[in-house]
Amino acid sequence: MTTGSSVTPQAAEGDRMQKLSASGHERSALKRNGLVDRVFEITTRGSALLVLLLLGTITGSLILAGWPALSELGLSFFTDDRWAANVNRFGALPAIYGTLVTSLIAIAIAIPVSLGIAIFLTEICPPKLRRTIGTMVELLAGVPSIIYGMWGMEVLAPFLQSHFPSVFPAGTGLTTAGLILAIMIIPFITAVTRDVMNTVPSIMRESAYGLGCTTWEVVRHVIFPSVKAGMLGGVILGLGRALGETMAVTFVIGNNLFLNATVTGQGTSIAALIANQFSEADGLQRSALLLLGLVLFLITFAVLALARFMLNRMNQRAPS
């Protein structure tokens, strides 16, 4: 009696062919996947390089277009306190001053208000109201800037003029523009801050409360250290919006082309000045406006670089 099993030559050949076919399919699948990965890598790398190419193209175009004004005016372009196109006198100092002052006023107001709203929504607000209030805050970000400008001209400026005539004799000015910008950027900073605060694990909050911490102590010592990078990103997003805002600022800043070294008087900003004069400019004036655009670009770049430096310093000081 024979035990075990025997395999016929036909069956063995069939198994060998199946293995060869499976190996062929595997090699084909690996080759196809490798090709897909290669295409994906090239596409993503090309997208990253495209950003650098666009950045370089914009910078180069502004430099070339603004070079005639820089050659003609020299350093006086940055130090002159008057912009008068009728006499070919182009001083960027009033616009630079107005841009920086209004942006700083906006950030000084928006940061504490935005953090307060974000803390309330994530830590204190009842669940039934959280979604409603959060949605309303986000809707403010979608309001067109020209609406804010018209509201500032028709409501905020007359209110300041009537209630604080000694400080705001005309109602419009740098502080008025800063208030409008603050209202505009609060939704951006709030939304980003709230989202990053929601990423903190609940167990960290519960552990802190279990140790007897108050809500403020939990926010200050647990949540803020965990999300400082995201919070700084929200602030920079708002600051970038404030630096480049055009229409809303044009309505309420006063458009005074002389340097007025106050925070409540009328003035102008880089974006407002370009918007007001670019459509009718030619020759040296057009070149000066394009050079002014380059200045705004460099200011924004410097602000972002400074923010990145501060973030790196904070990460280095943070305990590992």
What are the two backbone dihedrals, phi and then psi, of residue 213, each rounded to the nearest 5 degrees? -75, 150
3-class DSSP assignment, residue 258: strand
Q: What is the pLDDT along the chain (320 residues), one digit of tens a residue?
A: 444 455 566 555 556 556 555 566 666 766 776 787 888 888 898 988 998 899 899 999 999 999 999 999 989 999 999 998 888 889 999 999 999 999 999 999 999 999 999 999 998 888 888 888 888 888 888 889 999 999 999 999 999 999 998 888 888 999 999 999 999 999 999 988 998 898 888 888 888 888 888 888 889 888 988 888 788 888 888 888 898 888 899 999 999 899 888 888 899 999 999 999 998 888 899 999 999 999 999 988 888 788 777 777 766 665 55
3-class DSSP assignment, residue 299: helix
What are the two backbone dihedrals, phi and then psi, of residue 135, each rounded to the nearest 5 degrees? -65, -40
What are the two backbone dihedrals, phi and then psi, of residue 254, each rounded to the nearest 5 degrees? 100, -25
Predicted model pTM: 0.83
Cα distance between the two ends of the chain:
75
CA 21 to chain centroid, in Å, comes to: 55
Q: For residue 118, give Cα distances in angstroms to 189, 197, 229, 235, 284.
A: 9, 8, 15, 13, 48
Q: Give residue 2's pLDDT.
A: 47
| Selection from 113, 255, 238 nearest residue 177 by Cα | 255
Q: Give residue 93's pLDDT.
A: 93
Helix (H), strand (E) at residue 116 = helix 93-119
CATH code for residues 81-317: 1.10.3720.10
Q: Are 47 and 39 in contact (CB under 8 A)?
A: no
Q: Could you give the dihedral angle defined by the CA atoms of residues 186, 137, 152 and 112, in that order, rounded to the nearest 10 degrees?
A: -30
Cα(268)–Cα(250) distance, rounded to whole angstroms?
Answer: 8
Q: Are 101 and 177 in contact (CB under 8 A)?
A: no
Q: Give residue 4's pLDDT.
A: 47
3-class DSSP assignment, residue 265: coil
Cα(118)–Cα(134) distance, rounded to whole angstroms?
Answer: 9
The encoded tokens of residue 162 equal 């009537």
| Selection from 233, 269, 250 nearest residue 102 by Cα | 269
Q: Give residue 19's pLDDT.
A: 57
| Selection from 246, 300, 234 nearest residue 273 by Cα | 246
